[in-house]
Amino acid sequence: MSVFGPEDDGLHAVSGNFYETETFWFSFFVPERNIGAWVYVSVRQNAGTTGGGLWMWDDTGTAPWEVPFFEGFSHLKPAKYENGILVSPTGATITVIEPGMRYRIGYDDRDRIVADLYFEGAERPVPLRSGSPPYPSASHYDQTGHVTGTVVLDGERIAVDCYAMRDRSWGPRTERGYRRVGYTWLADSEIGLLTYSAPTDDSDDIHSGYVRRGDRVVAVSGGHRKAGRDPDRGWIDTLDLTAVDERGEEIAVSGRARSRLILPGSTNICINTLLEFDVAGRIVYGEDQDVWPVKEFRAAVRRE
């Protein structure tokens, strides 16, 4: 599948695979306060459960119990999608305004936080190439866009006006067998860049992604990602990235970390880092998702 259609905003028919999973992810940021955040919904129709939630971090902590807000569910009742509206028992509501391009995102935990956000795509959803990791058996689309709105956290009203990433995926997804993944993106009105890489101890080569320059979107065909890591904690402090697109054009960016959240999974961790990138002398914000199997991250940090 290479074109995202109106039907792809909703839940898809599933196979007999127990691990069929649909995900809806919207990120948003308040860079001047070093705030990064996700609204995330994971629906397992065959299992009859919904997971996800909302997490918001800044530079005051890195663990879920240290950040301003963290709520992540694993097995709530099934989410419902009807007439262009996904209603999740996590507290998230995603409303389709224009298929594939414009959405309203709400979140209400009935206690501490209420979010009311609007997403407008900067490009059409871009498919991950068939067979590419980390989701070789699933349909997966990425899209940058302009996010505006408000979040009220513990009575404080926080304005949101940023460029951020969302994605949509559906297909089998298990909780074992994770490999290291580097997922790095940045965006503003002029440019959008997404890269997937496959880090090892010796290299961190980019294998897919895309770059948007103005109205033109071109697939990324290669490149390299070099992470400067904290010697004690192992997380990313700096990131130098060079990507080459299918037209042979190169883009090189350098980023420095502003804040991060260590997001735990069943057998892996994802270190989400808000980054300030230098793009030809211009500041553009983005994020790196540094995915590790827990045993590999533990071994790497202990070595250092």
Look at the chain and report how many structural domains it folds into: 2
- Asked, for residue 4, whether it belongs to a domain, the answer is no
Q: 219 burial class (0-12, 13-18, 19+ CB within 10 angstroms)?
A: middle
What pLDDT is stored for residue 22 in this prediction?
A: 96
Query: How do residues 139-169 score in pLDDT, each as one tens digit?
Result: 899 999 999 999 999 999 999 999 999 999 9
How far is it, in rounded angstroms, from Cα 25 to Cα 205?
Answer: 25
Contact 214, 239 (CB under 8 A): no
What pLDDT is stored for residue 302 in this prediction?
A: 78
166 and 204 part of one domain: no
33 and 149 part of one domain: yes
- Asked, for residue 80, whether it belongs to a domain, the answer is yes
What pLDDT is stored for residue 2 in this prediction?
A: 77
What pLDDT is stored for residue 135 in this prediction?
A: 57
- Asked, for residue 25, whether it belongs to a domain, the answer is yes
Q: Among 140, 174, 208, where does a domain finish?
A: 174
156 and 215 part of one domain: no
Question: At residue 32, does pLDDT exceed 80?
Answer: yes
Contact 18, 1 (CB under 8 A): no
187 and 300 part of one domain: yes
Domain of residue 101 covers 18-174
Query: How do residues 243-274 score in pLDDT, each as one tens digit?
Result: 999 999 999 999 999 999 999 999 999 999 99
- Asked, for residue 7, whether it belongs to a domain, the answer is no
- Asked, for residue 155, whether it belongs to a domain, the answer is yes
Binning pLDDT at 50, 70 and 90, where does residue 7 land?
Answer: very high
Start-to-end C-alpha separation, the chain: 43
Q: What is the mean pLDDT of the chain?
A: 94
- Asked, for residue 170, whether it belongs to a domain, the answer is yes
SS3 per-residue string spanning the chain: CCCCCHHHHCCCCCCCCCCEEEEEEEEEEEHHHCEEEEEEEEEECCCCEEEEEEEEECCCCCCCCCCCEEEEEEEECCCEEECCEEECCCCEEEEEEECCCEEEEEEECCCCEEEEEEEEECCCCEECCCCCCCCCCCEEEEEEEEEEEEEEECCEEEEEEEEEEEEEEEEECCCCCCCCEEEEEEECCCEEEEEEEEECCCCEEEEEEEEEECCEEEEEEEEEEEEEECCCCCCEEEEEEEEEECCCCEEEEEEEEEEEEEEECCCEEEEEEEEEEEECCEEEEEEEEEEEEHHHHHHHHHHC
Q: Among 146, 174, 202, where does a domain finish?
A: 174
Per cent of the chain over pLDDT 70 is 96
How far is it, in rounded angstroms, from Cα 219 to Cα 210?
Answer: 4
- Asked, for residue 11, whether it belongs to a domain, the answer is no
Binning pLDDT at 50, 70 and 90, where does residue 132 land?
Answer: low
What pLDDT is stored for residue 177 in this prediction?
A: 81
What pLDDT is stored for residue 78 in this prediction?
A: 94
71 and 152 part of one domain: yes
Q: Among 152, 174, 196, where does a domain finish?
A: 174
- Asked, for residue 52, whether it belongs to a domain, the answer is yes
What pLDDT is stored for residue 128 in this prediction?
A: 83
Q: What number is the average pLDDT over the span 86-107?
A: 98
102 and 218 part of one domain: no
Query: How do residues 183-217 score in pLDDT, each as one tens digit?
Result: 999 999 999 999 999 998 878 999 999 999 999 99
Q: What number is the average pLDDT over the span 85-114?
A: 98
Binning pLDDT at 50, 70 and 90, where does residue 129 land?
Answer: low
180 and 115 part of one domain: no
69 and 196 part of one domain: no
Whole-model pTM over 0.75: yes
134 and 217 part of one domain: no
What pLDDT is stored for residue 73 in this prediction?
A: 95
169 and 180 part of one domain: no
Query: How do residues 14-26 score in pLDDT, each as one tens digit?
Result: 999 999 999 999 9
154 and 206 part of one domain: no
What pLDDT is stored for residue 138 in this prediction?
A: 58
